[in-house]
Amino acid sequence: MIKRYSRIFKKIGVVSLCLILSLILLIIGGGNIVKFVIYSEYYSIKTDICKNPGLSDGFVCQGICVYEEGAKILVSGYMADNSPSRIYVTDTENNSYYVSVTYGSGKDFTGHSGGIAISDDNAYIASGNKIYAIPLSSILDAKNGDSVSISKIIPVNNEASFIYADEDYIYVGEYHDGKSIFTDHPYETPDGTYYAIVSRYSTQEIKKYHKNNYPTVTPNKIYSIRNNAQGICFTPDGMVVISTSYGIDDTVYYVYNESDATDSGDTMDGAHVYYLYDHIQEIKAPAMGEDVDYYNGRIITLTESASNKYMFGKFFFADKIVAIDFE
């Protein structure tokens, strides 16, 4: 009798497990269909470029930039286990490797390692009110798992969550969500109170910096930006694209005309402060979008949702670096 009941319970358990798995698969399948409806505009203008590297290695991606001369994509981020922060190098053929970041003394760099940008002969990563210069050649010439050293640490006037560079300027911005991460640069704009800023520095100002001769770098323009900004880029035709996300909320890409930036009448550290509030386009996308870069007429971006830390993006195929064609 006991064996009979045992067999019955086993059958019930197997059936229950099958039903649960079927329900999970149904939810995932349904979600993958529904996402094309909810984010139809996003999916109509985005193209997959390559795999987002390191997602199954404990790496949590944050920043992205393109090395145009070598057709390489650099992705910065931190490690969930607090081991040294990494920079992954990949291309459109999914050839990738990573380097671990250390200080010049050899000590591990375990900072948040937010955005990444290339200017002159350096890659710069943004983290904790500083930007960190690493010789670009040391990254591009490395082998998988090698260490690269920070050559210069430059303090800036904001929390330095993300960074963007073009030929003339380096833009350093901060993240404020008003819930767990706060910055202290409030400006009243026609769109409400903005608390985060992006500071623009000349590339020459950054290049000449040395703590013994230039204890600070001076911005030449500051933008007051909306909350939840994860990245910014400036296009050659005068557009500004800001990516925003918080938790599992939608990622939203806001597009502005830089010429529409409004002078607030205030200054900070000698630079005029401008509002970026009157956007010309708004695109909603799946959660956890991160940094952005401009390359070959398109916006390049990625999401952290498919990293092992968050996992759920793996079920929704959010494991690619993508390009977005904004109008």
Residue whose pair of structure tokens reads 């640069």 in the numeric block: 185
- Write out the two tokens for 106: 């050899």
The CA dihedral of 50, 42, 114, 49, to the nearest 10 degrees, is 10
- Write out the two tokens for 264: 């607030």
Which pLDDT belongs to residue 26?
40
The CA dihedral of 150, 74, 195, 275, to the nearest 10 degrees, is 120
- Write out the two tokens for 96: 């990738």
User: 88-142: per-residue pLDDT in tens?
Assistant: 999 999 999 999 999 988 899 998 888 999 998 999 999 999 999 999 999 999 9
Q: Which residues of 200-238 are buried (b: 16+ CB within 10 A; e: fewer)?
A: bbbeebbeebeeeeeeebebebbbbbbbbbbbbbbbeee
Q: How far apart are CA 59 and CA 108, in angstroms?
A: 15
Residue whose pair of structure tokens reads 């992006």 in the numeric block: 198
229, HSE (Cβ side, Cα atoms, 13 Å): 32
Assign residue 295 a region (left: φ > 0; alpha: ψ between -120 and 50; beta: otherwise). beta
Answer for the pair 260, 271: CB distance below 8 angstroms, yes or no: no
Which pLDDT belongs to residue 305?
96
Rg over alpha carbons for the chain, rounded to the nearest Å, is 22
Q: Which residues of the chain have pLDDT under 70?
A: 1-35, 212-214, 327
> What backbone torsions phi and psi does residue 238 show, to the nearest 5 degrees?
90, 10
Query: What number of other Cβ atoms are within 10 A of residue 96's Cβ?
Result: 18
43, HSE (Cβ side, Cα atoms, 13 Å): 13
- Write out the two tokens for 66: 């393109």
- Of the candidates 90, 87, 69, which has an alpha carbon nearest to the alpha carbon of residue 79? 87
Q: Is the pTM of this model over 0.75?
A: yes
Query: How do the domains of the chain map onto residue ranges?
Result: 1-38, 47-324
Which pLDDT belongs to residue 70?
77
- Write out the two tokens for 139: 């990254």
The one-letter code for the residue type at 28 is I
Fold type of domain 47-324: Neuraminidase (2.120.10)
